[in-house]
Each structure stands twice: as structure tokens, then as C-alpha cells.
Amino acid sequence: ETGVTQTPRHLVMGMTNKKSLKCEQHLGHNAMYWYKQSAKKPLELMFVYNFKEQTENNSVPSRFSPECPNSSHLFLHLHTLQPEDSALYLCASREGTRTNEKLFFGSGTQLSVL
Amino acid sequence: GQNIDQPTEMTATEGAIVQINCTYQTSGFNGLFWYQQHAGEAPTFLSYNVLDGLEEKGRFSSFLSRSKGYSYLLLKELQMKDSASYLCAVNPTGGYNKLIFGAGTRLAVHP
């Protein structure tokens, strides 16, 4: 248990569906992240929020829309996805911005787009 | 460009020692992390190196050479539960939000 909880664990959706991924952290951290993990590829940073403000958007297509209503919750809204978007989506949190601070990851949402 | 290389897969025997290498080319360097990820689970922190040398933590040790852009994770007295993927990640200069990850090394420990 890392203190970061993601739901759902698995999601299958069609290309015309709209769905949302949820992440919650109970660690009192101030920074939250979305990563994409595809098979045999490095983790790709998607979005970063610091103190609820988006500070990074790593050239992510607009069909992915993040939302951070407070420092404990993070959402990723999905619409009109493509089959190549199938991957494991990981949420992470970090206490602050010091370079030696580690990320705490959730177990991820395994997404399949049909 | 920024690049991190590590072997895709490794196998080892229970009770043995295994070394997982990681080489990196990044725009500056502010530390290197190793994470462990069991199948279907969250990556979890193992170690952090920012200065050259060896950091030992129980059965796991991590080494860094900044001049060579090289690190390794050493696992001793291997156990079956050590079967997992091991991710190397580098913090480039000014990039506290942008950890650069390698693709991970999948380690299989056999009896």
C-alpha cells in the first residue's frame, strides 16, 4: 500500500465513449502526476499538478483532459480515444519539489480501447 | 536527446547475486532513482543516488558514476519475490517534475 489509490483498476472502452480515471492520495502531498506506461516502453509523463495548479502538459492530445479539484484528488477524463491509447495509466504523488523526493505511485488503471 | 538504457530482461537463480545496469544521457543530472514494480502493482521506491559511489540498503545496493553516466542496482541473496521489473529514472537539471525513465528490466528469479 503506497497511499495512492486509483480507480478503476481495469477499464475497457470504445472509441466513442467518455470515461474518467480517479486518483486519490492520503499522504498530504502537494504534487500529483499522471504517467502512461506502455508495454516495453519507458514511463511517459503526461501531466503535473503542484498545489492544484497544472505545471506540466507534456504535449498530450486533447482527448486526455486532467482535473485537480484539490491537492488530494486527481482525475483524467477520456473521450474519443484511439486503440493506441491502450496502456497502464499511473498516478503518482510527491511531497514537494526537492530533487531527492521520491514519487509514490498508485497501482494504475489498465485501459483497453476497442 | 535524453535517453536511458537498461537491459530488457534478465534471469537469475534463487540465492544468487544479480547486477542490473543503467546508462543515461541527459541534459544535466540531479539524481538517479531505482524503482521496483511487480506485475499489476505500483512501482515502489528502492534507492536514490546523487553522488558517486555505492549506497547499501539491506540486500539491495545502488552504485553511481556520474562521469560515466552509469548506475547499477545490485541484488544479493535473491528471493523468488524479487521477480519484478526494475526501473531506472534520472532527474535532469532543473527538471524536478520531469523524471526520465528507462523502459525497465524484467528480472525472473528461478529456484
Asked whether the beta carbons of residue A31 and residue B4 sit closer than 8 angstroms, the reply is no
- Pairing of β A10-13 and β A109-113: parallel
Asked whether the beta carbons of residue B42 and residue A97 sit closer than 8 angstroms, the reply is no
B12/A contact by beta carbon, under 8 A:
no
Q: A75's torsion region: left (phi>0), alpha (psi -120 to 50) or beta?
A: beta
- What is the predicted pLDDT for the residue at A40? 85
Q: What angle do CA B7, A107, B18 make, to 5 degrees?
A: 30
- Pairing of β A4-7 and β B53-57: unpaired
Place of cell 540531479: B30
- What is the predicted pLDDT for the residue at A55? 84
Residue spans of alpha helices (H) in chain B? none
Q: Name chain A contacts of B101, Cβ cutoff 8 Å.
A: 42-43
Residues B51-67: tens digit of each pLDDT: 999 999 999 999 999 99
pLDDT band at A28 (very low <50, low <70, confident <90, very high): very high
Residues A70-106: tens digit of each pLDDT: 989 999 999 999 999 999 999 999 988 787 889 999 9
